[in-house]
Structure 1
Amino acid sequence: MKYLIDADVILEYCLNREQFVKDTEYLWSLLESQKIEGFITESGLNKIEFYFSQLTSDEKAKNLIKDLKKLVKICPVDRYILDAARKSNLKDFEAAVEIECAIKFNCDAIIVWNYLDFEGASIEIILVNPLTFEPLQTVDFNKQQKKLEYEARYSNPSYLSSFDNAKLRAYVAEAEARVKAIEMINEIKDDLAKNSVNFCFEEYPHLKNPGEPQNSQVFIDKCYDEISRCLNLVLYCILCGDPYILTDRELSIAHPKLFPALNLPTDLYVAALTFCRDSVSVSRNLSKEVLKQYRSYLDYLINSLS
């Protein structure tokens, strides 16, 4: 079997980061024993060399690349690959490049850390098994979406039953970081909602002119509540590690009915959600990876309303 390996998977192993090494040892053993045929993109290899040289030395980085070339084959990245990736619907360009390379070299699948970057891929995506050395588990996005229960919109715990084992293990591995992030954002959620709405009314001062239906504290409080509700949905997505609840509840229910009822331009909500997205940054209790998910879920809402 031929597999293209996401550069980040190899990078974590080579950097010997303790919390990630065990996750990749099984994959590494398969490569060393030649039980699978591994590939990596040329740009991915350059990325590994750059980071490794910055943390060690140029000489050690060159030796590493020499050793890697004995284990995996290199997929050249030419203008045709880049052009195809540019036209791809994937949000992550680097992931799109890897997909196009995998297709060109007839790979059976791509082995990755974070499947969210590859959502919508036209090739099979495989997660590195985070907690055991069992064979890698396949993630089929279409099947996953169909399996998600609609009761998630009501925050029903049975939503969790729709995860397959591989995804559940991945989320358990990230559980502590997710919980810390949720607790931190939840503490500032109400203030964040109020500040975002106040910011929007400053951007749209005519909404508070005398005679306007929005010129009341009751109405403004409803806006606070609505943005806070959106943030609750985002936090729930972080907990579950899945954005499909947004597709079902927020876009199909809130958008068609809520905004006409409030008699507000959607631009105001776009501005408010953008404010919420940009006002949260990496901190002790919010990792870079979870922040990326937080922003991506808000981007999902923003793009749907734009």
Structure 2
Amino acid sequence: MKSVLTTIVTAADQAGRFPSISDLQSAQGSLQRATARMEAAEKLASNFKTIAQEAVDAIYKKFPNGSGRDIDAATQKNKCLRDMIHYLRLINYCLVVGGTGPLDEWGIAGAREVYRALGINTATYVTGLIFLRDRACATCNMSPQALVEYKAYFDYLINSMS
């Protein structure tokens, strides 16, 4: 799994050098934010089912008929919930490792093509992801720094699907 640290070490190794000062500063910054990321990961893991269902509800409020083809409504909602939980889990992994590797490897690569092939508009997923990103608030769920870390991965995913 790709993280800030593995990326730095791999790049230095491939170049046949030791990590540079800027590499080490990047690693230090990632480590300094680790506490906030762990807080966000813990909060996300503690109620992922509830917030995933809220995201599905937000999607179906905006897209009452969904966007899948030839699938009954209950199956469509169950698959949507499954996908929202999958994305939440990947963002949780990103928070733990401190990098976008899990999203890049397991959530983004090919997702748009798969959804297109299934006749699913990515706007439905973007709607749910925006809801999940904006649902968190600093005063009720996370510290301000944890919220920054949390939202950054959602922004990354939303931008990749838009």
TM norm structure 1: 0.42
**Secondary structure of the equivalent of 2:116?**
helix
Match of 1:297 in 2: 153
Match of 2:50 in 1: 191
Greater relative CO, 1 or 2 (CA 8 Å, sep 6+): 2
Letter in 2 for 1:196: A
1:269 CA drift (Å): 0.6
Letter in 2 for 1:305: M
Give the structure with the larger strand fraction. Answer: 1
Letter in 2 for 1:144: I
Q: Does the C-alpha gap of structure 1 residues 262 and 236 become closer, same or farther in structure 2, counting only changes over 3 Å?
A: same
Q: Distance in 2 between matches of 1:176 and 1:280?
A: 18
Letter in 2 for 1:274: I
Matched, 1:144 2:1: no
Q: Distance in 2 between matches of 1:281 and 1:145?
A: 35
**Secondary structure of the equivalent of 1:264?**
coil
Give the structure with the larger helix fraction. Answer: 2
Of 17, 34, 59 in structure 2, the residue corresponding to residue 200 of structure 1 is: 59
Q: Where does 1:219-258 land on structure 2 (aligned, <5 Å)?
A: 219-257=76-114
Runs of 4+ in 1 over 6 A off after TM superposition: none
Q: Distance in 2 between matches of 1:267 and 1:284?
A: 28
Match of 1:268 in 2: 124
RMSD of equivalent CA atoms:
3.0
Aligned length: 146
Q: Distance in 2 between matches of 1:194 and 1:285?
A: 17
Q: Distance in 2 between matches of 1:168 and 1:286?
A: 24
Q: Deviations over 1:249-280 (max 9, x none)?
A: 322133322x1354321110110100000001
Q: Is the 8 A contact 1:207 1:215 kept in 2?
A: no
Gapped regions of structure 1 (runs ≥ 5)? 1-138, 148-163
Gapped regions of structure 2 (runs ≥ 5)? 12-22
Higher-Rg structure is: 1
Q: Share of identical aligned residues, percent?
A: 28
Q: Where does 1:126-205 land on structure 2 (aligned, <5 Å)?
A: 144=8, 147=11, 169-205=28-64
